[in-house]
A and B are shown apart, each in its own frame.
Chain A
Amino acid sequence: MSLFNYREKPGYFKRLKDALKTTKEDLTYKINELTGSSESPVTPEQIEELEAILLGADVGVQTTLEIVGKIEDETRGNRFVTSHQVKRLIREELHRILDNSGSAEESGNGERPQVVFVVGVNGVGKTTTIGKLAHLYKSEGKSVSFSASDTFRAAAIEQICIWGERTGCQVIRQEQGSDPAAVLFDAIAASRAQNVDVLIVDTAGRIHTKHNLMQELEKMRRVAAREIEAAPHEIFLVLDATTGQNGLIQAREFLRSSGITGLIVTKLDGTAKGGIIVAITKELSIPIRYIGVGETVEDLLPFDPTVFVETIL
Chain B
Amino acid sequence: MFESLSERLQKTLRNLKGEGRVSERHVQESMREIRMALLEADVNFKVVKEFVAGLKTKALGEEVLKSLTPGQQIVKLVRDELVELLGKEPSELEFKKVPPTAVVLVGLQGSGKTTSTGKLARWLSLQGRRPLMVSTDVYRPAALDQLRIIGEALQLPVFESESRDPVQLAREAFTHSRNMGFDVLLVDTAGRLHIDDALMTELEQIRHELSAEEVLLVADAMTGQDAVNSAAEFNRRIHLSGVILTKLDGDARGGAALSIREVTGTPIKFIGVGEKYEALEVFHPDRLAGRILGMGDVLTLIEKAEGVADEEQARVVLEKIRRDEFTLGDFRDQLRQIRKLGPLDQVLGMLPQIGPLRGLDKVRIDEKQFAHLEAIINSMTPKERARYKVINGSRRKRIARGSGRPVSEVNRLLKQFIQTRKMMKSLSKGFLGKKFPKLGW
Contacts and interface: CB of A to CB of B under 8 A. Distances in A.
Interface of A: 22, 52, 55-58, 60-61, 121-125, 127, 152-156, 158-159, 161-163, 166, 176, 207-211, 240, 242-247, 249, 267, 269-273, 275-276, 295
A246 B110 contact: no
Given A123-B112, A159-B142, A244 B222 contact: yes
14 contacts: A56-B44, A56-B46, A61-B40, A121-B222, A122-B275, A124-B110, A125-B109, A158-B145, A210-B249, A242-B223, A267-B109, A269-B193, A273-B225, A275-B224
B139 to A, nearest CB: 8
Given A122-B247, A155-B142, A207-B247, A273 B226 contact: yes
B225 A56 contact: yes
Interface in B139-186: 139-143, 145-150, 153
B118 to A, nearest CB: 8
B157 to A, nearest CB: 16
A55 B222 CA distance: 16
A58 B146 contact: no
B42 interface: yes
Contacts of A163: 141
Interface in B374-432: none
A266 to B, nearest CB: 8
Contact of B230 (A121, A124, A208, A270): A270
Interface stretch (B251-259, B282-290, B323-331): B251-259
Given A155-B143, A162-B142, A272 B226 contact: yes
A275 B147 CA distance: 34
Is the contact region of chain A dominated by helix, strand, or loop, or is it mixed? loop
| Of listed B40, B42, B225, residue having the most chain A CB within 10 A | B225
Contacts of A243: 220, 222-224
Contacts of B334: none
Contacts, number: 145
A158 B143 CA distance: 9
B359 interface: no
Given A246-B251, A269-B193, A158 B141 contact: yes
Contacts of A276: 224
Contacts of A161: 142
Interface residues of B, number: 51
A209 B251 contact: yes
Contacts of A155: 142-143, 145-146, 148-149
Contacts of B147: 154
A270 B256 CA distance: 17
B141 A271 contact: no
A123 B45 contact: no
A246 B40 contact: no
Contacts of A247: 222, 224
Instruction: Give 8 nearest A-B pairs by CB, closest first.
Output: A244-B224, A123-B110, A155-B146, A244-B42, A162-B141, A158-B142, A272-B226, A159-B142
A307 to B, nearest CB: 21
Given A125-B109, A270-B194, A273-B226, A154 B150 contact: yes
Given A244-B227, A272-B225, 8 more contacts: A121-B250, A122-B110, A154-B153, A242-B226, A246-B250, A270-B230, A271-B226, A271-B229
